[in-house]
Amino acid sequence: MEIALYPLKFHPILKEKIWGGRKLDLLLNKNDKKPNIGESWEISDVHEQSSIVSNGPLKGTTLKKLLSTYQNKLIGNSNFSLFGDTFPLLIKFIDAKEDLSIQLHPNDELAAKRHDSFGKTEMWYVMQADDDAKLIVGFNQKLTPEVYLKHLEDKTLTDILNIDKVAPGDTYFIEVGRVHAIGAGVMLAEIQQTSDITYRVYDWDRTDVNGHLRELHNDLAIDAIDFDMKDDFRVSYSKHANESNEMVTCPYFKTNFLQLSKTIQKLNTFDSFIIYICLEGQAHFESNNFSEVIEKGETILIPAILKEFVINSNNVKLLEVYV
């Protein structure tokens, strides 16, 4: 007999990174004492890294198994027809103790041709930022490939990059082909297509624990870079209480901001799953006689088949994500 779906939580998949720190443990309670945890994959269907349910009757089931069993009941009819047995989004928290490499991601066409993968359109929501913490997003001038390569060769790439000082609540939309880097001192939530394809173009001449320079991907990157100077990556959004405020809408996901001070009844009219990422506070989710709590640094998946549910909270900030 098939178990009825309910609001699902997953065990985080923690990733050690050369640039990672301790904030995911200290600020988001990820309970890992390693000194350099850079990423917590909250909901993942990346190859051989499928999230595992941590609550309720389906505890211990992988997201891959859930999708093969429940199909459109989990992700919606249109999503299942488009994505089949692959969950379309990857949700992360990222802690940059040091600057990440300057990088970009290929579009769907290139990623499929070269890597049998989706592209990697993504967005960032800054949860915490140290004084003077920065992000690199895009160029500060319009470029030709030849000028870009000259700066790369001369190690003056930062001269042509747009660098923004950031604060909590700042939100950025990172399209494929856009050069970017998370700066030291930033902790953020990331929503992206299900892909782990990154083209690293410069890594500050940093070496790994064995003294080796990390691999760069400049031969692949040159055909994938958008060289235009665009200033459309900063996301402006409203913060009206107790309603969904639109942040990012693109072909791959839609994200809203919610700040709740009371219990609300939600109707899922999207033909999609809905993911909630807790930024501050605590929220109780109730559906089908099942109740679950998420706190700051936790994520919950509402299956598409659950058309009505309740969010009970007197003080919580959430990101609401669906496809």
Helix/strand/coil percent split, the chain, to 5? 15, 40, 45
Within a domain: 4: no
Confidence of residue 86 (pLDDT cuts 50, 70, 90): very high
Is 93's pLDDT higher than 80? yes
Candidates 22, 114, 200, 234; catalytic one? 200
Q: What is the pLDDT of residue 104?
A: 97
Structure tokens at 309: 């549910």
Q: What is the pLDDT of residue 185?
A: 98
Within a domain: 143: yes
Residue reference for tokens 């992700």: 75
Is 202's pLDDT higher than 80? yes
253 and 188, same domain (yes or no):
no
> Quick check: helix, strand or coil at residue 55?
coil
Within a domain: 313: yes
Q: How far apart are CA 24 and CA 233, in angstroms?
A: 25
114 is catalytic: no
Is 32's pLDDT higher than 90? no
Confidence of residue 161 (pLDDT cuts 50, 70, 90): very high
Question: pLDDT per residue over 237-291, tens digit each?
Answer: 999 999 999 999 999 999 999 999 999 999 999 999 999 999 999 999 999 899 9
Q: What is the DSSP string of 100-153?
A: PPEEE---HHHHHHHHSS----EEEEEEEE-TT-EEEEEESS---HHHHHHHHH
CATH code assigned at 145: 2.60.120.10
Within a domain: 98: yes
What is the number of structural domains in the chain? 2
Q: How far apart are CA 212 and CA 87, in angstroms?
A: 35
Within a domain: 231: no
Q: How far apart are CA 191 and CA 194, in angstroms?
A: 9
82 and 154, same domain (yes or no):
yes
250 and 212, same domain (yes or no):
no
Within a domain: 232: no
Residue reference for tokens 């211990």: 60
> Quick check: helix, strand or coil at residue 159?
helix
User: What is the span of the domain harbouring residue 17?
Assistant: 13-221
Is 1's pLDDT higher than 80? no
Within a domain: 5: no
Is 183's pLDDT higher than 80? yes
Question: pLDDT per residue over 227-251, tens digit each?
Answer: 988 889 999 999 999 999 999 999 9
